[in-house]
Structure 1
Amino acid sequence: MAATASTACAVTAMGLAASPAAASPAAPAAQQTAEPGQSCTAADLGKRHPIIKSTDVAPTITHFKGWYVTEGSTGNQTVNTNTTETISVSVGLNGTVQGSFAVEALGMVGASLGLNVQVNYTSTSSTSQSISWNFRLPGYYGLYKGTKKVTGTYGSLNCNRVQQGDDSHALKWVEGPDSGSFTTYTTLEEGAVRCEDKVPANSIMAKAQTLLDCGSATAKHAAGPVPSAKATAARHAAESETKATRSTKSAPATAPTTRAALNCGSDAYRIHVPGKPLNWSAPLLANEGIRLRESNFTSAHLDNWRLCNVTENNGVLEATLWNWGNGGCATIAAQNAPNERAALQTTTCTEDDLQRFYIYRDVPGSNKIGIQNKHTGYMIGHDRYADGEFLRQYSSGRQDGTGTYDLVKV
């Protein structure tokens, strides 16, 4: 009997490897473009790279069904499984995967773990899935689809001035203030497992075997297809969690309307494209895009900015950018916050994190800076150098160096 059980396990394992539906795109080889403490240049001030801080890999069953096979009912059967958990790939606050920063982060996760993980937005199926299986032996089976769920946290590396031991300064890649979490998963597998099968510890198959609830009366005496009690409970819990998540995501954000009292410095600045005549200019009306314009005497101070409520942590400035001309604060609109290339705007000052920016600086004596939105983590830059071009946010910044600006006192 022991030999028979072993044979059944081997058949199940081969079925996993042979499943054509399990194919998944391989993660691209991650290339670490920056290391903490490594030197950077002024052209890197507007760039950002991920750094993986923690990872956790957990075998996870996405679909399951307990199925009793009697002596006379062996052979090929198709069984509809129930959803136990839906896994969605996400990076950061977006609940999805957008921009090069997220793809680079997930690529680094896969490379560090030696796993092929999903690097683009996708999710496992949330509907019932059928599994066709050749049951060669009678017994109580758990039919399943599953994967390895990979979660963890990341930070970002930004270029900034660092004071050295001799009191001089240098530009180095340092861990920035922003961080977040990620979720992804590996190749999907499907199979069948019995209570008596010997399976590898901490495997997807072993996880399915625990859902089979082998000590239950169902496993010992069931006379027909019966779902595992644990699987049913897990499914209900997953469905409740999914509904709660959807409810949270669908709840409309309530934007505050009270104007904040800002503590602004007396100095006004222009934010120039280095070596060029164009600089940041706010629109006459709030809620419109900030553009590159050439300064002139009729600009009504729309090209003048003050730094407000300034704090500094580990050499990184945090400030609100208040426009002298229209009295608004630079921001990313809440509905556009997850979007790559969302335009920078001005609106009523509320001290929301969408209106807060990290400022990375070149060594003393240079006016060059890089600017990052606190809430989204995205860097500010522009697509091309042209009059009227919008300032936008980019998850990894502008890799051609066009996200580096000059902060020049007026």
Structure 2
Amino acid sequence: MKRALITFGTSLALALAAVVVPAGPASAVTEAAPGAPCDSADLGRRQGWANTMEIAPVITHFKGFFVTAGSTGTHSVQMTYQQQLTVQVMNETSISTGFNFGIPFLTKLEVNAKFALTKTTMTTTTEQRTLTWNFNQPGYYAVYSGMHKVSGQMNALQCHRVQKEDGRWVTEWNRRAAGTYTTWGREQEGVVRCEDTVPANSIMRVAQIELGCAGEAAQRAARAARAADDVKPAKPAAGSPATAAVPPGYACDPGYYYVQSTNGMYMIADDTPYMFWWTSPTRFGEALWTVCHGPADATGMQPSVLVSKTWNACLGAAPGATATEGAAIDWGTCEAVPLRQKLYIYRDVPGSNLVGIQLAYRGGMLSQNELAPGVKLQQSEGGKPDGSGTYRLVPA
């Protein structure tokens, strides 16, 4: 006698498995599923059963990387470690190809996920990873490596004799211990910019979010602007309130700007610049900045300075700190030939006011350790993966 074997459906619905008469003694003869029949040969078996499944893209290594108009071409970018990966079934992380019920469970899970899964113990070290890429356009790039994480709730099924409501005794697969599972798909790596249109639930989209890109609205604006020229900063105009303080050859936009984090805090010029919530920023000069531009330099970029209304002084790195990761951003008398105060302001999402701000001297980016009030501005080599180095330049 022969009956069809059960398949593990994508809906994770319960299904009865069929029984096949063994060709020889003491061999397992049924496919495990909750409520499916089993026989004496299955009494020593235990089978994993997924109750839920969630597939989520995860970034494992990341770096924000600026490419100026004069530096396109092939670069080797060293990404920093983001998250450790482990494979776990029923809270067990020591999974091998030997005597272990995790392997058959993950093999069946792979059919449901529709892509290859890691089936044995794996961990990701904290070492950096390097990606070599041809950057043929200037812009702000997310350089990433990632995988799809597959996780959920599960049971261990065991063959057991139970009594039904009608009084019959049957031997069938029953749910026993409950737990969780986690495994991973294949590694993906590449680069992506805010302007790029990517699938919503992809590793590329997560990389955009890590970069600090603004959501669907900014992507729609980027798509609409692709046929036109990129939005350029307004031409410098003389007569700004800060004109007397800025370096020779620099001209300032009229009026003032706010520099806001992506969660709405304002950059405040206090003893040391920091981000803070402000209910009425127009009442206080500490939140107002003048943007002044110089002539294009050897990189082809137009340098800028940010001048505080309160102090009539320029934002920049403190002396001796230009090559120090995490060094505090400060302000001081505007330099006649800007060195520490010379900035590149990147506008990489057409149609939006999102900017990245780079210290031109050593290439460090303005950022904070976290998007929280009172956190001081600092420089970091490649920006922050949580988007804390992306700002909005908003006319006051």
Which of the pair is proportionally richer in helix? Answer: 1
Structure 2 length-normalised TM: 0.48
Higher normalized contact order (CA 8 Å, seq sep 6+, divided by chain length): 1
* Structure with larger Rg: 2
